[in-house]
Structure 1
Amino acid sequence: MKLYFSDIIIDSKLVKYGVKQLTRKLFWEDPYLASFSTTIVSINDDVENAGSYLVELAETAFYPEGGGQPWDEGQIGDANVTYVFEKNDKIYHRVDILPTKKEQVECKINWERRFDFMQQHLGQHILSSRFHKLFNARTIGFHLGKDTVTIDLLKDSFTVEEFQRVEEEANHIIHLNLPVFSLYPSDEELDSLPLRKAPKVEDNIRLVEVKNTDYSPCGGTHPSRTGEVGIIKIRKWEKMRGNVRVEFVCGLRAVMDSWGKYQQFNSITNLLSVGDTEAFEAVEKIHADNKRMNKQLNQLKKSLLEYQIKDYYSSADKIKDYSLVVKVFDNVDMKYLQQVASLLNQYPKTIALLAARNDKAQVVFTRSKELKIDINQLFKEVISLIDGKGGGSEVTAQGGGSNISNLEGLMDAAVLKLKHEYIK
């Protein structure tokens, strides 16, 4: 049985076509139905969401979450519908307050949200069909998000030119303004149709056909003609567990995405005082210059650090024939402490106790490799003074704690232990 999505079936139910449903699905009969009047069958407390209620309607135009498409929102009387789901062929609507009426309740769909989802969902059908036709890449995942849509394709890679070809053909189908049908085929009819993918259910199979172009099992809502998708724009792609994930947008989302990119590009050209065609070359030059300057800066930092390390060593306290470096830094990170420690422990008979004050206290203890002092043991004996934890090896140990105010006390305690217990 073939139905145009634009056909409004008021007096007949889909049961007539062999489709079983306990809650009548008006969104299948007419996806453009934005308001309707019906009867509330039941209202129950939502045990999973305190203060909310689950409303069952005799019939509903609210689409329940499923098949990769989010649920509809709107109102049932004075109550706001925040979530819709289907369970055991019944559709339940989560609302924030108890509806004041049960008979002839006026219901309203958030049409802007619904039509956006319709555009994105049909766009996904079109795009998936092109990937399948051109490159035999089957869609194995679909997610319709608030801002973007993604599909996962059973293929390990594509070229930029292949993505461009898919996008061009998908938009050509949109421009043809082909009609979209809802099909409820018999088993014999199902076997004769060139399905892009196999149905996930055995009964009540519903197909969506883009005229003579794509046949796909689907329970979602879609526009009645491909032209209503407006435009499909692939935004980016990435490898994902051996497959390829493609992110795209359709309709108004694509327009807004393009406008946002134009504003950014225009700001860049104005900032660089270059024309559109010169922007990439200018940015490329800045990137190369920045890379070169960062390399020079890192070399200077390394030279400065090496000079500082020599100064730390030369000015270190002497305990017998050991050199003891004790430093507490402000606003340096653990990576910096580790770097200083790795350079200091290259000097002979050297022990370094290093710490930093940040959001929390951080500590690194280290020693020259030829020494027999157990630095990890020393570290564990004092780290509790800053309510900290950590550890390491006999050569180097590190960690952190929350009691910054006692960081100096920790360092003093470590020095005393070294002098009286570890260096003999």
Structure 2
Amino acid sequence: MKSKRKYYQEPYLSKLNTRVSGKHEDTSGVWYTFEDTIFYPEGGGQSSDRGLVNGLSVADVKERDGGVWHLVAGALDGDVEMHLDWELRFSNMQQHTGQHILSACFKDMHDLDTVSVHLGRGETMIELDSGHISDQVLAETEIRANQLIRENHPVNPVWLHRKDLDKYHLRRDIKSDSDEIRLVQIGELDSVGCGGIHVRTTAEIGLIKISGWEMIRNHVRVKAKIGVSAYTYFAQLHTVLAQIGNQFSAALEDLPERVESCLRETRELSAQNKRVTDLWLSAYAKTLSIPEIDGCFKLAELSKDHLKTISEYWLNLNQRPCLFISNMEGKTNFFMRIPENSPIDIQEFMKQGRDQFAL
């Protein structure tokens, strides 16, 4: 049975009294339809709503055969009361509207089309029809998108017949075969076919921060924090940077220089440590006489890198096969070297070493 989709009529409605109208069971559990629903089903890159029905959690919402089906953790019948997880719903609304803004800016400013979108928990991903993108393009797009947010443009969903589409300047072609089309218009900035839920004005998006990009299917996929997620992201950045600043006793603007200085000193100390360690291992190798079983040594507390170095020194001094073994922090390390053109049976040599040291 078809449900009245209150999430389209009243997207800010978070509580609803309605009645069960259908039931279906599969391997996931028991699914219900209702005469009305405020729960948005998964679709168009936007995840489905979550919440409660008669105090029972709604784990998923899907559209099937014209109905909106809700996966509910318990039995329902007759009258019910719905409660949305409003924090998640509003975040999805911010993300979806913010994604429209970003996609419009990528298209208008850089002629980059959006191939697909995914609105995740805390992150929005936009796949663009391009194999590369520059930091400058990302920065320009982010600045323009936030300017449009501050300008407080209205966001209006419009239902119309397919024959009337030529009256609108659409950012992309309509994918639906239906004669009834739902457009989402953002002022005079953007018009696109969309079945998602959006905020009323761009100001309600709050903030957009592009946080990075990656390659997928030979396309650039831009990652962005939008709305509440963006504010959370900046709060986390502030906390982390404040902690790092305290560790370095440095103000925020001085951190890059202090970190670079610290890394430079670390690299220098690491190089010095390697030189000293190599000298020590070279001297150590000279003290190791040939044991009863050719070249099999068990040393204390040496890493694999140490064994690699000392075995090289020992081989150069003695020109004989060698197997070095050491236990360090509960882990057994070993390294074997064989002179060029040696007739030795490598497997037999390793077996002798294992037998000698009971490995």
Identify the match of residue 94 of structure 1 among 58, 71, 95: 71
Q: Give RMSD over aligned pairs.
A: 2.8
- What amino acid does structure 2 have at the position aligned with 1:129? A
Map residues 119-158 of structure 1 onto 2, 5 A cutoff: 119-158=94-133
Correspondence 1:362-381 to 2 at 5 A: 363-376=334-347, 379=350
**1:274 is the counterpart of 2:219:** no
Equivalent residue letter for 2:279: S
In the alignment, the residues of structure 2 paired with residue 241 and residue 297 of structure 1 have an alpha-carbon distance, to the nearest angstrom, of 44
Amino acid at match of 1:32: Y
The letter for the 2-side match of 1:245 is: R
Structure 2 residue 291 is the aligned partner of structure 1 residue 317: yes
From 341, 354, 365, give the equivalent of 2:324.
354
**Residues 98 and 361 (structure 1), Cα distance of their counterparts in 2 relative to 1, 3 Å cut:** farther
Q: CA deviation at 1:328?
A: 5.4
Question: What is the alpha-carbon distance in structure 2 between the residues aligned to residue 252 and residue 38 of structure 1?
Answer: 30
Aligned AA for 2:291? D
Aligned to 1:244: 220
Looking at structure 1, the residues matched to 344 and 332 of structure 2 have their Cα atoms a distance apart, in angstroms, of 24
Structure 1 residues 364, 274: closer, same or farther in 2, change over 3 A?
closer
Paired with 1:324 and 1:280, the residues of 2 have a C-alpha distance of 50
Please name the residue that 2:298 is paired with.
327
Moved more, 233-242 or 212-221: 233-242
Aligned residues of 2:126 and 2:222 also touching (Cα < 8 A): yes
Cα deviation, residue 150, structure 1: 1.8
In structure 1, distance between residues paired with 2:170 and 2:313: 66
> 1:115: Cα distance to partner?
0.4
Post-superposition Cα deviations, 1:13-33, rounded to whole Å, max 9, x if no partner, equal xxxxxxxx9333221222112
**Aligned match for 2:22, one of 27, 38, 42:** 42
- Counterparts of 1:96-245 in structure 2 under 5 Å? 96-99=73-76, 102-203=77-178, 204-240=180-216, 242-245=218-221
Q: Within the alignment, does 1:31 sit opposite 2:2 as a pair?
A: no
Tell me if the contact between 1:40 and 1:103 (Cα under 8 Å) persists in the aligned partners: yes
Matched with 2:278 is 302
What secondary structure is seen at the aligned counterpart in 1 of 2:62? strand
Report sequence identity in percent.
27
Paired residues, number:
357
Instruction: Report how far residue 228 of structure 1 moved.
Output: 0.6
Which amino acid in structure 2 is aligned with residue 183 of structure 1?
A: V
* TM-score relative to the length of structure 2: 0.88
User: Does residue 284 of structure 1 match 2:264?
Assistant: no
Q: 1:344 deviation in Å?
A: 4.6
Call closer, same or farther: CA 1:293–1:210 in 2, change over 3 Å.
Answer: same
TM-score in terms of structure 1 length:
0.75
Distance 1:139 1:329, change over 3 A: farther
Q: Look up the match of 1:11.
A: none
1:60 to 1:328, Cα distance in 2 relative to 1, 3 A: farther
CA contact (8 A) 2:303 2:333 kept: no
- C-alpha separation in 1, matches of 2:160 and 2:286: 83
Amino acid of the structure 2 residue aligned with 1:197: R
- Partner Cα distance (1:279, 1:74) in 2: 43
2:39 to 30, 40, 62: 62
CA distance in 1, matches of 2:168, 2:358: 81
- The Cα offsets for residues 36-55 of structure 1, whole Å up to 9 and x where unpaired, read as 1222123333413xxx4222
For residues 114 and 165 of structure 1, do their structure 2 counterparts lie closer, same or farther at Cα, with a shift above 3 Å needed? same
Kindly state the Cα deviation for residue 324 of structure 1 after the two structures are TM-superposed.
Answer: 1.9
| Deviations 1:355-378 (CA, angstroms, capped at 9, x unpaired) | 344666555544222211221365
Name the amino acid aligned to 2:33: E
C-alpha displacement at 1:342, in angstroms?
Answer: 5.3
Partner of 1:82: 59
- State the one-letter code of the partner of 2:166: D
- In structure 2, runs of 5+ residues without a counterpart are none
Q: CA deviation at 1:350?
A: 1.7
What is the deviation of 1:133?
0.7
| Residue identity in the other structure for 2:132 | S
For 1:317 and 1:79, locate their aligned partners in 2 and report how far apart those are by CA, in whole Å.
74
Q: Does 1:410 align with 2:355?
A: yes
Q: 1:152 offset after TM fit, Å?
A: 2.0
Counterparts in 2 of 1:305 and 1:92: CA distance versus 1, 3 Å: farther
What one-letter code is carried by the residue in structure 1 that aligns with 2:303? Answer: V
Q: 1:57 to 1:342 in 2, by over 3 A?
A: farther
Work out which of the residue numbers 260, 271, 283 in structure 1 matches 2:236: 260
Task: Assess if the C-alpha contact under 8 Å between 2:3 and 2:68 holds in 1.
Answer: yes
**Structure 2 CA distance, aligned partners of 1:173 and 1:59?**
35
Where 1:185 maps in the other structure, the secondary structure is strand
